[in-house]
Amino acid sequence: MRKNKNSDENFTSLLSAIDRQALAPDQEFLKQLRERSAREFAAGAPDVSANTPKSIHIAALRSIIMKSPLVKISVAAVVIIACLIGLSFWRTTGSGIALADVLERIEKVKAFRYKWILKIYGDEASGKPVNVEIRSTDLSSQEHGSRSSVEVLDPNGGESTFTEVYRLPQKKTIIRITPRQKKYEREEIGDAMGERRRKQNDSDPGALVKKILKCRYESMGRSIVDGVEAEGFRTTDPNYNSGGGFKNLQVDVKMWVDVKTRLPVRYEEVTRADFDRNGNRMSQQFVWYDFQWGVPVDPAEFEPVIPDDYTVVTVPKKPAPTEENAIKGLKLYADLSGHYPKNPNWTSYYQWSAFEKSDTSAAQRLKEEIKGLTEEKKANRLRDALLPLHGIGIFYAHLVSKAKDPAYYGETVTPKDADKVLLRWKVSDNEYRVIFGDLHAETVTSEKLAELEKALPK
C-alpha cells in the first residue's frame, strides 16, 4: 500500500508539471462566451414551435440524404436552395443612415470569412417531412470567388456528409469535392452566372443590408454580441421576402453590427411560410456568424486539391435563367405529375420521389427506362431527365434577385387553364410578361394583368 501511495504521489508530481504555468480562467472572457455560446445553442436548438416530431424528422432526413438514389443531387439541391433563397434576400435597394454606412464599409472589404448554419424543416406538399441541417465555413473574395466547406448533418448522429465547394467565377467553374465518396463534380457556369458571381458573391452580406434597408426595421440598441459591442437591427416586415412566392410568410431578421468597425457581427433569420393550401409549413433558420473581415487571402486556397483516386462526375450545365427554360421546366413537371409545382422555390420538388407515384405517361415511360438499371446508372439517368426542372427555380430566383415583381400561381393554375396566369414578372414600368397555364407567354399591360389576376381562383 505504501508503495502505491508513493507511486500516486510521484505521479502527481510528474503530471502537475503542466499546472505550474497554467493560466487562471479569464473571467471576463468566460462571461462573454457564456452569452455567445447560449446564442449558438439557441441557433442550433430544435424549434419546438415548428410542431414537427423529431422522430419523423429523422426518418425524413434519412430518407432524403441516405436512401435517395439522387443523394448527391439532393445534397447539392439543398445547397442550391440556400443559394437561391439567399439570392432573393440580397438584391434590393433602399436608404438609411447607420445601415447605409455599414453597406459602404462592406463593399470596401476585399475578402472575408464567416460561418453559417441553415436548418430547413417542416412538411413537403406531399406530406413528407423534411429536416435538413447544414453547416458551412466560407471564404469569400472579390478577386478569387468563394469557397465553402459544407457539412450536411445526419440527425441520427451518424457520419456527416462533407463537401468542399469552390465557386471560381474567373474560370466559370464550380467544383464540388465529396471525400466520403471519393468523387468530385465539375460544373461549368454560364457567362451571366459567372459575371454575377464575379461582381457579387451569393453570400454578399452587403446585399443583406440592402434588403433590410427596404423594410421597416428597428434598432435593438447596443449589447454584447459574440464578445463585441454591437448595435442590433431587426425587421419582421414581410416585404423582406416579397416575391418569394410564400404564403402566410413570417420573417424575423436580426443583424448585429460592430459599433467600432461598423461591419456585421452576426445575422439571424427565421422564415416560416405555408407551403401549400393544406397548411403545410416550412421553416428556415439561417444564422451567419464568426465574420472575419478583411482577411488576407492566399490564392492557393482557391485551388481545389483533388486526390488522384477521386473520380469525376460530370454535371450537366444547369439551365440558364430564361423564360424559355422556365417553360421547359414547367412543361416537364406538368408532364410528369399532371400539375405544376405549388412553389417555385423548393428544389426538393425536383427529385424523382415527387413523381414516383405518378401515373402520367411521361412518368411511366421514365419508370420503364430506369427499371433494372444499377443505382448509379439510375441516378445518372434521372439526373439528366429531371435537369430541365431546375429551369423553374433558377428563373424565378433570377426574377426575385432582379426585383422584377414576380408572382407564381402553381397552386391553383393547371395545365388546362389557358387563360390563367401561372407566372408573371415585370418587364417595364407598365408591362408584365405572363406565362399562362397552357405555357404560352404574352406581354400585357399592368391593367390587363390586374384583370387576369382578379380572375384567379382564391
Partner 1 sequence: MNEQTDTEIARGLQQGNRDAWLKLYDLYAEKLWRNVARLMGGDPASVADIVQETFLAAARSAGNFDPRRGSLWVWLWAIAKRHVALHYRKCRPNAALTQAQKWWTSLNGQKDDWLQGTEKPPAEVLESRELAELVRYTLEELPAEYQVLLMAKYVDGAAVKQIADQVNGSSIAVRSKLARARKAFRGVFKRLTHRASGMQEVAL
**Interaction site with partner 1 (CB under 8 A):** 3, 6-23, 25-26, 29-30, 33-34, 36-38, 40-48, 117, 135, 157
Q: How far apart are alpha carbons 351 and 333 in whole angstroms?
A: 11
Cβ closest to partner 1, residue 40 vs residue 252: 40
Cβ closest to partner 1, residue 135 vs residue 262: 135
Give me the count of residues in the chain. 458
Cβ closest to partner 1, residue 57 vs residue 91: 57
Minimum distance from CB of 132 to partner 1 (Å)? 15
The helix/strand/coil state of 215 is coil
Q: How far apart are alpha carbons 89 and 125 in whole angstroms?
A: 23
Minimum distance from CB of 179 to partner 1 (Å)? 17
Minimum distance from CB of 136 to partner 1 (Å)? 12
Minimum distance from CB of 270 to partner 1 (Å)? 13
Cβ closest to partner 1, residue 58 vs residue 439: 58
Cβ closest to partner 1, residue 252 vs residue 417: 252
Minimum distance from CB of 119 to partner 1 (Å)? 11
Cβ closest to partner 1, residue 8 vs residue 451: 8
Cβ closest to partner 1, residue 46 vs residue 232: 46
Cβ closest to partner 1, residue 289 vs residue 436: 289
Tell how far CA 290 is from the center of its chain: 18
Cβ closest to partner 1, residue 44 vs residue 94: 44
Minimum distance from CB of 375 to partner 1 (Å)? 29
Minimum distance from CB of 121 to partner 1 (Å)? 13
All three cell numbers of 202, joined, read 451569393
Minimum distance from CB of 206 to partner 1 (Å)? 25
All three cell numbers of 350, joined, read 425536383
* Burial of 227 per CB tally in 10 Å (0-12, 13-18, 19+): middle
Minimum distance from CB of 227 to partner 1 (Å)? 8
